[in-house]
Structure 1
Amino acid sequence: MTTTFTDIPVLDVSSLLDESDPGYRSAVEALGDAARRVGFAQIVGHGIDPALFDDLLAATTAFFALPDAEKHRVHIANSTNHRGYVPPGEEVFSAGTVDAKEAFDLSVELPADDPRYVAGHPLLGPNQWPDLDGFREAVTAWYDAVFALSRVLLRAFAVALGEPADRFDRHVSAPPSQLRLIHYPFDPTAADRPGIGAHTDYECFTLLRPTAPGLEVLNAAGSWIDVPLIEGAFVLNIGDLLEIWTNGEFIATTHRVRKIAEERYSFPLFVNVDDDTEVAPLPAFVRDGAPTRAPVIAGEHLFAQTAQSFRYLQQRLARGEVTLPEGAHPLATFGRKALAAN
């Protein structure tokens, strides 16, 4: 359970890149400690080429500078598997607050003849791509590099939990790990209020690269703690699935983005496992007399949370075109804010 932390730990993960490194065990312990105490960390020493981020930022800036009509050509509602442009006001968090942002969502690229896509899977299949030179190439190169880092960290989390390093590997063949390109426009009248509402992330964990400050994390005392911008660092935070797998030993820490005047770009990769993975508390974390978290199916949980926070999916639910999985959790079920409410 996260504590009344007042700052976010900074972890050098260079030793995690080679499991034979003499510093591997101590780096794993530091990662596990941050997950237990805070649920957030900033990681450096990750080894990702800075040029990949420069190319990503240039491509993203060019996309969001396009006329609205061009961006709407790849509107997310044109997709049957939740890929594409998300205009301001499309996504709603935190009791109906409208987020002051626009985004572009993509995930693992599967061909249009993949049986899961053909069968109508709501989260798997091909991406929508804008007609913009170099955009697909820059975004895909970044996705591949950060996804590879996420596999390294998932193995380290397994070791931190007392499991074999490959404990989760069998669940990562084609996971719907979503990359979001998010743009918070310049707003000279911005007040100190949320730009994206308080929430937890629905997957295992998140790797985020922002270009400006604004992210805040909720501690056990109910205080919002600032996550300072560290050049070149990723912000890592625990998501709902690791909270379930650890039966609450890791908490999907609630966070938000406060509204700031400066223009801000943000690039989270939401690290998931295969959509059909049953996520249930690991035996080591099921203790006599302690509550046991109910299992979820990873893809069903992701779709249920997504469908409750996007207007176009809410409309499809209302029309009966899609349905929520049986036993779907309401929004804000996990994390520090949910614990405080209970």
Structure 2
Amino acid sequence: MGTVSGAYKDVPMRLKHVIPLDFESTKVVPESHIWPETENFPLSDRVLPSDDDEKSKSWIPVIDLMAPNVVELIGHACETWGIFHLTNHGIPSSLIHDVESQARRLFSLPTEQKLKALRSAGGATGYGAARMVPFLTKYLWHEGFLIAGSPVEHASVLWPHDHKTFCDVMETYQKMMDSLAHQLLLLMLKWLEVSEDELNWKVSMSQDALLLNSFPACPDPKSTIGLAPHTDSLLITILHQSQEGLQIFRNGFGWVTVSPIEGALVVNFGNLMDILSNGKFSGILHRAFVNQIRHRISVAYFCYPPIDSQVAPFAKSKCPIYSSLTVKEYLEIRAKHMEDALSVIRIK
């Protein structure tokens, strides 16, 4: 069964787009990473909630997974916000702490050591810059490490004699997140009134990928950005962030900062869910900013159907707006067109 790690081999990146900046030795933000602030791209526009702020009346939903009306809560949040905080999710806080600690251990390695696990130009797993970089005019204040399946291949390069703890923690987290993602996916399908039999793949066959994000402390955070505005590619994204940095764009609100909630995970979805729901669940535009003091770590878990499976608007869609295609075909289109990928497959 194919995985996301092999989906990009026919659309390789240039090596210069794969290698992150050497943050360890960088004392000032280089010109290559300085983003111009414009009306449509305000770097410093960080909207925060307050009790007397009009914007806070429709604040990001917080959903208890054990709530008796959880289907309705999730369905409404997906249709109106495209993102929500999830509590009572069953992932131990100790495990989440261990995952972040191991991520910090990885990104604290010397640059030359991290580059030993650099992902290939046509690959997806390992150390490297975000895949959106070739589509940008400037580079990002970010480095990442993607795991799809076992992390042992790259971890054993980083720590030849001491990689077992890293692998055990990541594999345990992947297993528990896999169960949570399946649960969330079934709840979303129930709201959409889509039975698992209507899919040509079983929810239990879903694949996953784990992305460790590093946003080093930045000498001039207002001049650059961690991740540029984008939507996610796959079905469901479950994010852990212990520090502020995530922002979403909401019409009428501008860029809204998603502040961490103790014990909660952040859930949103990607373009494959947009296709499956026939546009009812539209992936939300989001970005990440950086700060001057703290090295911020976030952990994103992605769930997606098997690479060779077909994804199409659900059967009850009277007027499908997207063409049917395989996950692999979609990822290849995404690799070529990035944020215009859905427009490419939209039925005219």
Task: State the AA in 1 paired with 2:316.
Answer: A
Task: State the AA in 2 paired with 1:264.
Answer: R
- CA shift in 2, pair 1:189/1:250, >3 Å: same
Task: State the AA in 2 paired with 1:106.
Answer: I
Question: Is the CA contact 2:238–2:302 (under 8 Å) kept in the aligned structure 1?
Answer: yes
Task: State the AA in 1 paired with 2:340.
Answer: T
Higher relative contact order (CA 8 A, sep 6+): 2
Q: 2:154 maps to what in 1?
A: 128
Superposed structure 1 runs of 4+ greater than 6 Å apart? none
In structure 2, the residue corresponding to 1:230 is in which secondary structure?
Answer: coil
For 1:227 and 1:193, the matched residues in 2 are separated by 19
Cα offset, 1:60, TM superposition = 1.2
Cα offset, 1:6, TM superposition = 4.8
Question: Is the CA contact 1:190–1:260 (under 8 Å) kept in the aligned structure 2?
Answer: yes
- CA shift in 2, pair 1:168/1:108, >3 Å: farther
Gaps of 5+ in 1: 16-22, 111-125, 309-329
- CA shift in 2, pair 1:166/1:235, >3 Å: farther
Cα offset, 1:295, TM superposition = 2.0
Check if 1:84 corresponds to 2:126. yes
- CA shift in 2, pair 1:83/1:269, >3 Å: same
Task: State the AA in 2 paired with 1:11.
Answer: I
Q: What TM-score do the two structures reach when normalised by structure 1?
A: 0.75
Aligned length: 284
Question: Is the CA contact 1:98–1:196 (under 8 Å) kept in the aligned structure 2?
Answer: no
- CA shift in 2, pair 1:90/1:29, >3 Å: closer
For 2:304 and 2:270, the matched residues in 1 are separated by 9
- CA shift in 2, pair 1:196/1:94, >3 Å: farther
1:220-271 deviation per Cα after TM superposition (whole angstroms, max 9, x unaligned): 3371111111122111112101111111111111111123223210100111
1:190-236 deviation per Cα after TM superposition (whole angstroms, max 9, x unaligned): 11753200111000110000121111111133711111111221111
Gaps of 5+ in 2: 1-54
1:276-334 deviation per Cα after TM superposition (whole angstroms, max 9, x unaligned): 121111122223xxx621223112322443x44xxxxxxxxxxxxxxxxxxxxx21136
Check if 1:331 corresponds to 2:341. no
In structure 1, the residue corresponding to 2:221 is in which secondary structure?
Answer: coil
- CA shift in 2, pair 1:43/1:103, >3 Å: same
The structure 2 residue matched to 1:284, chosen from 298, 310, 316, is: 316
Percent identical pairs in the alignment equals 25
Q: 1:20 maps to what in 2?
A: none
Task: State the AA in 1 paired with 2:331.
Answer: L
Q: 1:114 maps to what in 2?
A: none
Task: State the AA in 2 paired with 1:63.
Answer: L
Q: 1:301 maps to what in 2?
A: 330
Q: 2:300 maps to what in 1?
A: 268
For 2:197 and 2:313, the matched residues in 1 are separated by 17
Task: State the AA in 2 paired with 1:270.
Answer: F
* RMSD after superposition: 2.8
Question: Is the CA contact 1:238–1:252 (under 8 Å) kept in the aligned structure 2?
Answer: yes
Cα offset, 1:146, TM superposition = 0.9
- CA shift in 2, pair 1:179/1:283, >3 Å: same
Check if 1:156 corresponds to 2:190. no
Q: 2:286 maps to what in 1?
A: 255
In structure 1, the residue corresponding to 2:201 is in which secondary structure?
Answer: helix
